[in-house]
Structure formats: structure tokens, C-alpha cells
Structure 1
Amino acid sequence: MDPLDRAQVLLHCDLCQTAALQSHCTLCQINLCKACVWEHLSDSSKRHNVVPYKHRKSATYNYPKCPNHSQNQSELYCDQCDIPVCSTCISSGKHKGHHLSDVLQKISSKIKDMEKELKELDTKLFRKYEEIASDIKTKKENLDTHYRKLTAAVTKQGEDWHREINIIVNNKISEIDVMKTKHLAVLYKQENEMKQIASDVKQSIVDLKNILESNEVSLTSAYKSRNAEFRRLPPDLNISLPSFSPHQINTVQLNQMFGSLSALSITKEEFSYTVKSLLDEPELITIISTGYEFLHSVICLSDEEIWTHGHDKIMKLYNLKGKRLKSIKTKSGNEPRDIAVTRSGDLVYTDPNTRTVNIVKNKQIQEVIKLQGWIPLNVCSISSGDLLVTMTSDDGTQSKVVRYSGSTEIQTIHFDSEGKPMYSFGSITYISENRNLDVCVADYAASAVVVVNQAGKFRFTYDGHPSTNKKKYTFNPVGITTDSQSQILTADFDNNCIHILDQDGQFLSYIDNCDLQRPWGLCVDTRDNLFVTEWKSSKVKKIRYM
């Protein structure tokens, strides 16, 4: 009888502690009975590899051959020389005064380090390089739009002038084409570099997996880590896009007065984000009392100032010491539904009663969008400068997301590829754009987070984690936001916690400490600090979770 089979009778499952074990998860290093295998695999926050117990990889390693004396086994390891050594090596005096350790302990320690490096490569670094390459692809896709607008501006100015200045118009368009070609060439080069590095990372993952799955100790000893090299993310290109500045027509100085194109400026700067990890225990940093009867949304104006709104017609700006800096009353005197802040720092709010989306500029409130047949709900300002607005039909039977450039509707996100509605009707639908340009909606009535890509194509739905079943209520998301790592955070109103997902909808963790009570609105600052509004207490809590 196989010794492992005999041992199996005496050993029990690590989870239930009662049933005889039959399987083993090689990645979690846990023994499992047949009944507990599925419970273990349901934890999607980790990777698993369950095999029959007798097929698990042995943790016993043979002493390696000495690299200098092949007839000998190496029982020690020279830390200074970073090689296994045998008794002949030691007697030669070459390692006199060097620190020596047990070779098997050294190999075991090195394997643990390699496993950590594999995890970093597989779950963080490879994804980060893919994300950078994806960002470059998006810049290329948006490049044509920008240059089309630039060309249109020059052309329109030329059409308003006399026929004699056509030569000037053509010259300016030629300058744009040259800059566009140069710009595109730089992005192609950077994209190829990112793909190459991502390929190197992927190959390192494959090599590490092969080593870890092999019993060839020589491969383990010869392994040289490249993780330090891969951690140094390449600098980003800081490209100042050219713009056209038209002047009033002057027939005397046509060439000078026509306008000028700013130069295409391409510089490099270090990425403003780094690979970050979630804290085991998030920390409560600040509590701000707002005085609302019920508090809803919060949005960062800066790392030191936040806009809030609640069950009131007044929107309030606070600093992190809790001092109110500014108050703005809605133009209609109605309570706003949601607020956002544009890239230029202007406050935006939705007014369902007037069916409008409004912007506050220099203390003046301007109507940006006026809807017919639809009621605006929630809003967010995205990286392109556009607005995303969730809305419901007058009769409450339809909901959709619409993208606006200024007052112009440029995209509608409504149905999936089978023609089915993607959002429930008339519910709380907070919205956020992820770093990868996905559109993320917290659909309260559907008890789900619905995510589509930039083109509006359905990607995934998240309807809670299996552990949510241990909580008192069904998963009901309200506020939603995203951070520098493309992680999605959503407030679970009834269960008093925050769910954290990766960009592909995989559950990562909860924030369920910090004494959260009825969490509603969410936002993050540039340092990935989380701001959470509490509906009933009307407090804003600042939490460090990364």
C-alpha cells in the first residue's frame, strides 16, 4: 500500500477537521475532503489548484550536486558566493570566513521568495504593463478625434476668410499632419516597448511556474530574479497636444492674424501611480460632520476639499478639518439628485424636477443639458472631459446611460448585444468611469454592479460575493468609485460595508470596519484615500485602505 494512502486514513480535512482528506490545494497549501473542495474553490479572491492528495508536490528536496565537484553533494550554501558548496569546497579554504547555511533551508527560502515573485508578476506587474499598453491604444484611438477637431477649427476659420488666404489654411493643415505623424510614431514606439516588456513578464511567469513545478534543484539555484527590473515602470509620455488659437480677421496682416498652432510637445514623466496593495485593516483617518438631515453624495474638489449634498437644496464645500468653505443653492430651489466636479474644477449637479444638468461657473449656474421624456439621475465627469448621465424615462419603464460632450449627446448605453436592457428601471444608479475607461454603474434595484467598456459593450455584472450571504441583507450597491489601480469600490448600504473589486469584477476585499453606518456616496482622492458618506449620521469618513 502507498504510504500516502495509509497516511490519508489518519489525516483529516484542514477545513472541517472531521472528514478524511482526499485532495490538496497546491497554491493555498491546504488539505481538503471531498465536501470542502467546492467551498474552498468558491473563494474567488485567490487562485486555486486542487489535485488528489497523493499527487501533491513533495516538499522534500534532494541535496544538489556541487557545481564545482560533481561527484559530491552540496549540504551547505555559501551566502557570500551565492552557491551551494560541498565538503571539498570548504576544505579548499575558498569559503573561509564566509557565512554558511543549510542548503535545503536556503533552497526552501528561495522557493518561497520565488512564489512571492510569481504572485507579483502574475497578479500585478503583468496586468500593469497590459494596462499601460491599453492606455496607449486608447490614446491612439482618441488621437484622430482630437486632430479632426483641430483640423475643423482651422478649416472653419479659413472658410470665414477671403479666398486669398487658402494657401495659409493649407500650410497650417500640413503642420497638423506633420505633428500628427510624429505623435502617432511616438505612441507606436511606446506601445511596442510596453508589449515587449509585457511579453518578458509573461515569459518570466512561465519560467517560474516551470521551475516551481519541477524537482530540478539546479534550476532553482540558477534562478535570477527580474522582478526588481520589472517594478521600475517606464516613464509615461507627457504630451501637450497642439491647439489652434484663431484671431480676428485682419486683411492687412493675414498670415500673422490668422492664428497659430501650439507646438506638439512630447516629454517623459514618471507614472503617477504605482503598484499598491490593500491594507489588511483599513484605517479611519478623518470624520467630517455636514449637518444635513440625510447625506447623499461626496466628490473631491482636491485632496483637501470635498463637495457634498444631501436632503437639502444647498450643496456644501468642506475642508478636511470640517470647516464649511462655500455653499451653493440650486437654481430651482429643488434638492439636487447628484453632484460631480469637472476637470477644470466646476461643480455639476442634476435636477430631476427641471430635467436638467447644470454647471456652476464663477458663482453663476448655467443649464448644460435639458431633457425631454427623460429624468436625469446621477452624473460623473470623466477623463475626456465629457459627462456620463444616468436617466430614467418619464413612465419609469426604461433606464440608460448617456455620454455628453458639452450639451451634445454623443453616445447612448441602453441594451446589451441581445437587445435586453442592461439597467433596472428608475432606481439609484450611481456611475463612475474606471481608469481603463470602463463605465461602472451601481444598480441598486438590481442588486448588482453593471460594467461596460468604453464602446458600451457589456463586460460583466457583479452581484455580490458568496460571503455576502453571511451578512444580514442582500447586496444593494449605492455609491460607486474607482481608484488608481482600476479597482472598483461600491457601498453596500444595507450591510454597512464597501466591496472592493478588480477591474474584471473579481472580489478582492471588504471594508467593513471603521464603524460604517448606512454608507452611501463614495469618491477617492489622488492618493487613493476613500471618502464615504453616511446617509443617516450625515458624516463623511476618510479611510485609508491602500
Structure 2
Amino acid sequence: MDPWYSAKDVLLCDLCEIPVHQMYCHYCDFCHVKLCKACVGEHLSDLSEEHRVVPFKQKGITPNYPKCPTHVGKLCELHCKECDIPVCSLCLLSIFHKGHNLLNLQEENKPKKEATEKDLDELLNSICPKYEENLAVIQREKTGLEKHYEKLTTDVVKRGEDWHREINVVVNKRKSEIDEMKTKHMAALDKQEHEITSIIAEVNQCIVDLRRKLDSNDASPSAYISRNVEFRSLPPKLSLPHFCPLKINTEQLHQMFGSLSELSITTEEHDYTMKKPDHGNVMRIPQAVLYPQMEPEAEYCPPVKPLLDEPELITTIDTGYKYLYNVTCLNDEEIWTCGLDKIMKLYNLQGKLLKAIQTKSGNTPRDIEKTWSGDLVYTDPNARTVDIVYNNQIQEVIRLRDWTPHYVCNISYGDFLVTMVSDDGEQSKVVRYSGSTETQTIQFDNEGKPLYSSGDLKYISENRNLDICVADNRAGAVVVVNQAGKLRFRYTGHPSTDKGSFYPLGITTDSQSHILTSDCEFHCIHILDQDGQFLRYIDNCDLKYPWGLCVDMSDNLFVTELNSGKVKKIKYDHHMIR
């Protein structure tokens, strides 16, 4: 095809609407119309308007000056700077513009034209494509929105089904325990029934013998031994077991069930030149996140709670211990405590003693921890055992040889982590247990060097990201390994001159994956992020020799004071106090 006659070069005359090729087309720069050769004369015949006809390819070269409002037929080619209006040649003769600074209108408008051309180019090549791209993103998201929210609903329903299965497992376990208790109870009653029946027979025989003796009027001396003392001791009565349900904490249930990340719809303006448009510039689709204790493959995303500039002391509980070692929260209203005593005590937040339990061996417990089911676990170094208090009965869970258990934490999936020291005092390690079965040992780094010092003061806690955090007092460090036991970092204290040496004691973690550890020597608490970066101290609240630590479900901190025997509840982040 001849390029001179390509379809893109064919135009329509605005007067007769006949197709005409560009090379034969004309254009009126003042009236902005396309003209074929035959229509040029007709257009110029209109004397009511000024015309300037040029070849089509030269359109726009003629300045389009405004018409003068004062002088008919004249164009304003100049601009009066003082009056800020366009003027024609006749206006120059007027006294109104005498001595004024007059500028060429075309030159005056050149910067504005350049700015306009720049804006047009930006609108065409940048802004409009960005909006069209964002529009395409929105349309794609709208297409997949129903499917995504159906998946969210499915995930939540599945989560509920998982909980129902777990609840059924617990219920069936309790039912099995009840059946076993019932069988044992019945066997014990059968045994007591048989024993009492035999005793009744013996008592009846004694009655017969004694009556016969009294009726015989036998005056001869005879050997008589009374059995009444023997019969006075009735057999022990068996007590019926009871079910003691824990109070259901609705907020705790919501947190453990899982949460949705917030739906974030951006309403502020975005500068497209600062970042490329993507799905995130329009809307972040919420993802279901589940609590790590229940689903290890999921990531828990709690709401961010900034730290307070000044932590607040909420309440103080006097436990009566001469030396107070540790505390663990049974729930948001009750705390277990242990100290230099064989008795472990349960208090409410008003300081009322609710329960006291003596250790099985009569030894002093070194550490205590609440299990996910609400039972109490404690370590007994002298007996080399880890014991659990279940239904007010103490059962041995772990018994060691050649090693002594010191500190314990109950972690995800119902396992335990125990810090222990060898009998010769030269080695320390952390051992994971599932029930009474050892499933993991954490003792050396990748180079075969010990992770922990030989000292026995090693409180332990599991973080929300499943890191294992140990406050190694003798090493002067918080030692953090991942779930596989690989060293992540050591925190050896903030390098501030006013704090001096660092010897951590108690340790705990919160819902934000903060690590909190007590510094007894300098009467403060260090708060770190999950990567070991120092965030701040808690050094007010009149802390004296802080030792054991724990947090409740609302991230309130509980601190034991070694010498005063007091537990202090402290608010250190922005949350609602219940």
C-alpha cells in the first residue's frame, strides 16, 4: 500500500465531511477547523471572524491571540503588566496604558505553555496509567474477594472444628478417668463391704460369747481380753471425687482461638512517584492468623501495644515468705507463689490466701509453673523430680539420675522445658519432655561449645516465636536459641554506665514477643525485643531485689521481691486494665 494513502493519514473536512489526505488538507488556526481545498474559499468568505489558513501539517504555528474586548476585529498581541490584561495595538494609544510595561503575549505565556505541556505529559504518561493500573488491581481483587472471604470463613470454621475435636479429646479423657475412678471406687467399696461384714460377724460372735459368760454366773476366774478398742476403729470412709471446672475467661478464649489482621483501607493521598503501585496501595486483604500454641505452622499477630514511658504499679500482694522465689499466673485473678518453704500458696489479687499445698517430699520447691490445663508443676531439686499437682494430688512426672532439675516452663503442645545441672556441677543443659519422655536436649552450639554456664540459676521461658530464652545468671547473659536449639543471640546487658554488670534472674515473655528479665542487683527489669535489642528498663515502681517474673493474658507483669516476700503487679504497655 502507498504510504501516502494509508488510512491513518486520511482526514474529514469539517465543512463538507469529504475524506481528504493530510498533504492536501488545510487548517484554520483561529477557528480550529480542517478544510479541503474546495472549502477554503467558503471559510474565508466569513468576514465576521478573522482567519488564518495554513497547511494541516503546519497547524498550531500561528499564535491564537485573544480578541480585544474594546476594539472590534483586533487581536491582543501584548500584555500590560501593570493592568495584568491583554491589549491590542490600538489600546497602546489609550491613556489608560501610557507609560505601562508592555510584554509580548506569546513570550509571556511561554512558561505557562511549557508548564501546561508538562502537566499534560504527566497526566497522559504517568498519572492516568497509574490510576488505570490501580483500577485494574481493584477489579482483580473484586473478582477474587468472594473466594478469599469464603476461605477466611472456612479457616475459622475449621479452627472451630479443631477445637471441638480437642475438647472431645479432653472430655473423653476425663470420662475415661471417671470410669477408672468409678471402677477403683467400687473395688474399694467391695473390699470395705467384705471387711465390715467379717467384722460384724466377729462383733456378733463377741456379743454371743459375752452374754453366755454373763448368763453362766461362772465364779471361777477366767482370762478375758476385751476387743472393744479394736472394734471402735471404724474403717476410713471413701470420699467421692468432684469436678472442679476453671472459670472460663472469654477474652483468653478469643485470644487463643485466633485473630484476624485488621482490614486496612488507605484513604490518604499517595505520591505515585514515591513507590510503585501494588495491591497494598489499594487494600490489604486480611489473613486469618491462629494462636501458635494450637497451630505451630501459623503466625500469631497480636495487636501492637506500645510500651509505656512510665510503667505503673497496680497492686502489691504480701505472701508472707521470708524469701520469695517465683510466681505464675493461674488466671488474670489468681497467682501461685513459691519461696523458701515447703508450702506453695495460691493468692487472689486482693492478697487473700486461697489454697496452700505442701510438696510431696517436704522439700522446698525451686520453681513453679502453671500448665495449659490449669495444673501446677514444680521442681524438687533435692528429690531430683519434676512433680505435678493434679486434683489436689501430687504425681511425679520426671525423675532424674546424675542430673538435678532446677527450673521449668510449660510450652506449646503441652511439653515441658527443664533446666538441669550435672551432679559434678560442671555441665548444664535444657531438656524438652513430652510427659515423662525426653524428646530434645539443648546443650552445645554449632562449634561444640557449651551454650550455658555451670551455674544452677537458670530461669527459662518460651517466646511466642517458639524461641527458648534462658536467664543464665552466672554467665551474665540471656541466652536465646530457636526451637531447634540453634543459638540466635546472647544479651549481656545494656551498655549504660549507670547499670554496671548484668546478672539476670527471672525471665518471661509476652504477647508482643518481648523478653523481660529481672536484674536483682540493680533493682530493675530489662525489656528486649525478640531479636535481643534493648527497649527500656522498668526501674521505677519501687522495686527491691526483683526475682521471679510472669505475665498474665493481658500482659500485666508480676514481679516477686526476694527479701520482702511481696508480688508486684505492673502495667508496662498500653492495654486496658481489667
TM category (shorter chain) comes to 0.5 to 0.7
- Aligned pair partner of 1:413 in 420, 442, 461: 442
Please state how far the C-alpha of 1:219 moved relative to its aligned partner.
3.8
Unaligned runs of 5+ in 1: 1-65, 75-135, 137-142, 151-189, 212-216, 242-265
TM-score by length of 1: 0.54
1:374 aligned residue: 403
**How do 1:376-391 and structure 2 match up within 5 A?**
376-391=405-420
User: Distance between the aligned counterparts of 2:406 and 2:304, measured in 1?
Assistant: 34
Unaligned runs of 5+ in 2: 1-110, 120-154, 156-161, 170-257, 574-578
Please state how far the C-alpha of 1:276 moved relative to its aligned partner.
1.5
- Aligned pair partner of 2:288 in 232, 235, 240: 235
- Aligned pair partner of 1:365 in 372, 388, 394: 394
Q: Is 2:524 the counterpart of 1:497?
A: yes
Task: Spell out, residue by residue over 1:46-72, the C-alpha distance to the aligned partner (whole angstroms, 9 max, x if none).
Answer: xxxxxxxxxxxxxxxxxxxx9999459
User: Distance between the aligned counterparts of 2:549 and 2:274, measured in 1?
Assistant: 46
- Aligned pair partner of 1:525 in 549, 552, 574: 552
2:28 aligned residue: none
8 Å CA contact 1:482–1:524 kept in 2: the answer is yes
Residue type at the aligned position of 1:236: V
User: Distance between the aligned counterparts of 1:413 and 1:450, measured in 2?
Assistant: 12
Residue type at the aligned position of 1:273: P
Please state how far the C-alpha of 1:270 moved relative to its aligned partner.
12
Go from structure 1 to structure 2 and tell me whether the alpha carbon gap of 1:544 and 1:68 turns closer, same or farther (over 3 Å shift): farther
Task: Spell out, residue by residue over 1:182-221, the C-alpha distance to the aligned partner (whole angstroms, 9 max, x if none).
Answer: xxxxxxxx9xx99xx9xx9xxx9xxx9xx9xxxxx88469
8 Å CA contact 1:235–1:270 kept in 2: the answer is no
Go from structure 1 to structure 2 and tell me whether the alpha carbon gap of 1:218 and 1:315 turns closer, same or farther (over 3 Å shift): closer
Q: Is 2:345 the counterpart of 1:292?
A: no
Please state how far the C-alpha of 1:426 moved relative to its aligned partner.
2.6
Please state how far the C-alpha of 1:344 moved relative to its aligned partner.
0.4
* Aligned-residue CA RMSD (Å): 4.1
User: Distance between the aligned counterparts of 1:440 and 1:531, measured in 2?
Assistant: 18
Residue type at the aligned position of 1:460: F
Go from structure 1 to structure 2 and tell me whether the alpha carbon gap of 1:225 and 1:321 turns closer, same or farther (over 3 Å shift): farther
2:510 aligned residue: 483
Go from structure 1 to structure 2 and tell me whether the alpha carbon gap of 1:292 and 1:226 turns closer, same or farther (over 3 Å shift): same
Provide the secondary structure at the position in 2 that maps to 1:421.
coil
1:260 aligned residue: none
1:48 aligned residue: none
8 Å CA contact 1:234–1:271 kept in 2: the answer is no
Go from structure 1 to structure 2 and tell me whether the alpha carbon gap of 1:431 and 1:226 turns closer, same or farther (over 3 Å shift): same
Provide the secondary structure at the position in 2 that maps to 1:379.
strand
Residue type at the aligned position of 1:461: R
User: Distance between the aligned counterparts of 1:240 and 1:448, measured in 2?
Assistant: 27
8 Å CA contact 2:293–2:412 kept in 1: the answer is no
8 Å CA contact 1:234–1:270 kept in 2: the answer is no
Moved more, 420-429 or 218-227: 218-227
Q: Is 2:541 the counterpart of 1:514?
A: yes
User: Distance between the aligned counterparts of 1:422 and 1:534, measured in 2?
Assistant: 28
1:535 aligned residue: 562
Task: Spell out, residue by residue over 1:441-463, the C-alpha distance to the aligned partner (whole angstroms, 9 max, x if none).
Answer: 00000110000000111111000
User: Distance between the aligned counterparts of 2:463 and 2:289, measured in 1?
Assistant: 19
User: Distance between the aligned counterparts of 1:525 and 1:67, measured in 2?
Assistant: 66
8 Å CA contact 2:472–2:478 kept in 1: the answer is yes
User: Distance between the aligned counterparts of 2:112 and 2:293, measured in 1?
Assistant: 56
User: Distance between the aligned counterparts of 2:530 and 2:418, measured in 1?
Assistant: 21
Q: Is 2:306 the counterpart of 1:277?
A: yes
Residue type at the aligned position of 2:393: Q
Go from structure 1 to structure 2 and tell me whether the alpha carbon gap of 1:503 and 1:72 turns closer, same or farther (over 3 Å shift): same
8 Å CA contact 1:434–1:440 kept in 2: the answer is yes
Residue type at the aligned position of 2:524: C
Q: Is 2:498 the counterpart of 1:470?
A: yes
Residue type at the aligned position of 1:401: V
User: Distance between the aligned counterparts of 1:316 and 1:308, measured in 2?
Assistant: 5
**How do 1:95-110 and structure 2 match up within 5 A?**
none
User: Distance between the aligned counterparts of 1:320 and 1:399, measured in 2?
Assistant: 36
Q: Is 2:357 the counterpart of 1:304?
A: no
Residue type at the aligned position of 1:234: Q
8 Å CA contact 1:233–1:271 kept in 2: the answer is no
User: Distance between the aligned counterparts of 1:456 and 1:292, measured in 2?
Assistant: 36
8 Å CA contact 1:351–1:357 kept in 2: the answer is yes
User: Distance between the aligned counterparts of 1:440 and 1:282, measured in 2?
Assistant: 23
**What is the count of residue pairs matched by the alignment?**
324
Task: Spell out, residue by residue over 1:20-55, the C-alpha distance to the aligned partner (whole angstroms, 9 max, x if none).
Answer: xxxxxxxxxxxxxxxxxxxxxxxxxxxxxxxxxxxx
8 Å CA contact 1:432–1:439 kept in 2: the answer is yes
Go from structure 1 to structure 2 and tell me whether the alpha carbon gap of 1:455 and 1:218 turns closer, same or farther (over 3 Å shift): closer
Please state how far the C-alpha of 1:466 moved relative to its aligned partner.
1.0
What percentage of residue pairs aligned between the two structures are identical? 63
8 Å CA contact 2:291–2:300 kept in 1: the answer is no
2:374 aligned residue: 345
Provide the secondary structure at the position in 2 that maps to 1:384.
helix
TM-score by length of 2: 0.51
